[in-house]
Amino acid sequence: MAKEKNGYQIDMCNGPLAGKLLLFALPLILSSLLQLLFNAADVVVVGRYVGKEALAAVGSTSSLINLLVNLFVGFSVGTNVVVARDLGAGRGDDVRRSVHTSITMALFSGAILLVAGVLLCRQMLEWMSSPADVIDLSTLYLRIYFLGMPANMLYNFGAAILRAQGDTRRPLYFLTIAGVVNVVLNLFFVIVVQMSVAGVALATIISQYISATLVLLCLMRDKGILHVELRSLCFDLRVVKRILQVGLPAGFQGVVFSISNVVIQSSINGFGSTAIVAGSSAAANIEGFVYVGMNAFYQTAITFTSQNYGACKCDRVNRIMLLCLSFSATVGLIMGWGAVLLGHPLASIYAPGDEEVIAQAILRMKITCTTYFLCGLMDTQVGVLRGLGYSVLPMVASLVGACGLRLLWVVTIFQLYKTPTMLFISYPVSWAITAAAHITFFFLIRRHAYAKVTGYHAIQ
């Protein structure tokens, strides 16, 4: 259970695992749900109070946002692994250097994304075949949204540092505050000030700066090994190299997935139907809530594996993997089928009274949500591999199994049967194949990985 010095840490390297995994994962699930509400609140408010063109404009930007952001979010994964491993090994000086370098990387990454997003978003929307009746609104939304990138990165890196010691509760508290502010400002800017998509984008970035400020203040006031001093921020090249060894392949893998999703979004846009685009956007938002429930165990697997691997407790890594896979699949099945069974009322939240949009949303959910547990298995296994320091293998598997297969699907099978159904089927097919590849990789590399830290050869 949570004990240790500040009351927020979890002892990951000793004692029973199941309860600690759940204790770590539950705040992560709640935090991710709140983070999703940033975008979901945008989509719901514009869908209900502005119209389906605004709904399509905001909803269709998510794949492009993910494409630009995921590379740098991958660096925060590297931060989590490096800090957790040093904590597990008891290397205090390395922890302090890693923390300060990570915060510096966050601010630098945010600045790059701000400039790139503001300057390139219109051109990228045109490459995605964004419908003519929504591209101007989408561009406006994105240009405001990307002004919040420094805050977005600072929060993600700061939360990764706190997670490395088992603290998933304080990031939850910070996002709760920011999430409430976001919803209130959404309603104010759209209903009272009549700002349409500009209002929801402005509300989102204000809430992001609040959560980023809170996480930074938390680290600055920390009395332990994670304490941040602004005057000590720097780029330690050795730390940067360690972070990038895990974070760069992780980020590239995120980009690979995003590219395939952008291609699919472009194909959806190519139907030329606002109802199909809006329905798919609504379904994607609902799917997001299922995804974060499973993805919490990916993050749990990374942190617990990293600390135990750093502490040379490899037998516990096997147990961590089995438990996280079981939890992730269970959550995916329950939440995925629940979303399908409640499909009509859930889709109605985004497009009340528009049965055509609702029908398109339900069509997508019946295919993706019922099979989403496969994605959970895939991601959780990736978490274990990254916790062991193997980040290139899952990247390669994703390049082939996710991006490559989906692109091949779009240019072959989809060309023969040009329907939304055939397009959406590419998701479960790619999840199943990539999950199988990741599990195979784990059994191929674990003997070598364990031997590196312990001379451990007897796999149990």
Using the predicted structure, report yes or no on whether residue 456 has a pLDDT greater than 70. Answer: no
- pLDDT tier, 3 (very low <50, low <70, confident <90, very high otherwise): very low
Q: Assign residue 273 a region: left if phi > 0, alpha if psi is -120 to 50, beta otherwise?
A: beta
First CA to last CA distance, the chain: 26
The 10s digit of each residue's pLDDT in 30-76 is 887 877 776 666 677 777 767 777 777 776 677 677 777 777 888 88
The predicted structure's pLDDT at residue 304: 94
CA distances from 16 to 20, 310, 319, 433 (A): 7, 18, 10, 32
How crowded is residue 121: how many other Cβ atoms within 10 Å of its Cβ? 22
Using the predicted structure, report yes or no on whether residue 1 has a pLDDT greater than 50. Answer: no
Helical axes 92-127 vs 196-221, angle rounded to 10°:
170
**Mean pLDDT within 423-438:** 90
The 3-state DSSP class for residue 297 equals helix
The 10s digit of each residue's pLDDT in 363-390 is 999 999 999 999 999 999 999 999 898 8
The predicted structure's pLDDT at residue 397: 84
The predicted structure's pLDDT at residue 104: 94
The 10s digit of each residue's pLDDT in 277-336 is 788 878 888 888 899 899 999 999 999 999 999 888 988 999 999 999 999 999 999 999
CA distance 389 to 198: 42
More confident residue, 417 or 297: 297
**Mean pLDDT within 416-428:** 87
Task: Spell out the residues 6+ positions from residue 24 whose beta carbon is closer than 8 angstroms to its own.
Answer: 10, 12, 163, 166, 168, 300, 303, 304
Helical axes 343-350 vs 314-341, angle rounded to 10°:
80
The predicted structure's pLDDT at residue 71: 77
**Mean pLDDT within 329-345:** 94
The predicted structure's pLDDT at residue 129: 72
How is the chain split among helix, strand and coil, in percent rounded to 5? 85, 0, 15
Percent of the chain residues past pLDDT 70, beyond the cut: 94
Residue with tokens 């590239």: 252
Using the predicted structure, report yes or no on whether residue 459 has a pLDDT greater than 50. Answer: no
Percent of the chain residues past pLDDT 90, beyond the cut: 35
More confident residue, 52 or 268: 268
The 10s digit of each residue's pLDDT in 228-240 is 999 888 888 999 9
Residue with tokens 């009746």: 133
The predicted structure's pLDDT at residue 290: 92
The 10s digit of each residue's pLDDT in 183-205 is 889 889 888 888 888 888 899 89
- pLDDT tier, 2 (very low <50, low <70, confident <90, very high otherwise): very low
Task: Spell out the residues 6+ positions from residue 383 whose beta carbon is closer than 8 angstroms to its own.
Answer: 297, 298, 299, 300, 301, 302, 305, 324
The 10s digit of each residue's pLDDT in 69-124 is 777 888 888 898 899 888 888 888 889 999 999 999 999 999 999 998 889 888 88
The 3-state DSSP class for residue 269 equals helix
- pLDDT tier, 458 (very low <50, low <70, confident <90, very high otherwise): very low
- pLDDT tier, 457 (very low <50, low <70, confident <90, very high otherwise): very low
The 10s digit of each residue's pLDDT in 121-152 is 888 888 777 777 778 888 888 899 899 999 99
Geometric angle at alpha carbon 293, from 287 and 295, rounded to 5°: 95
- pLDDT tier, 211 (very low <50, low <70, confident <90, very high otherwise): very high
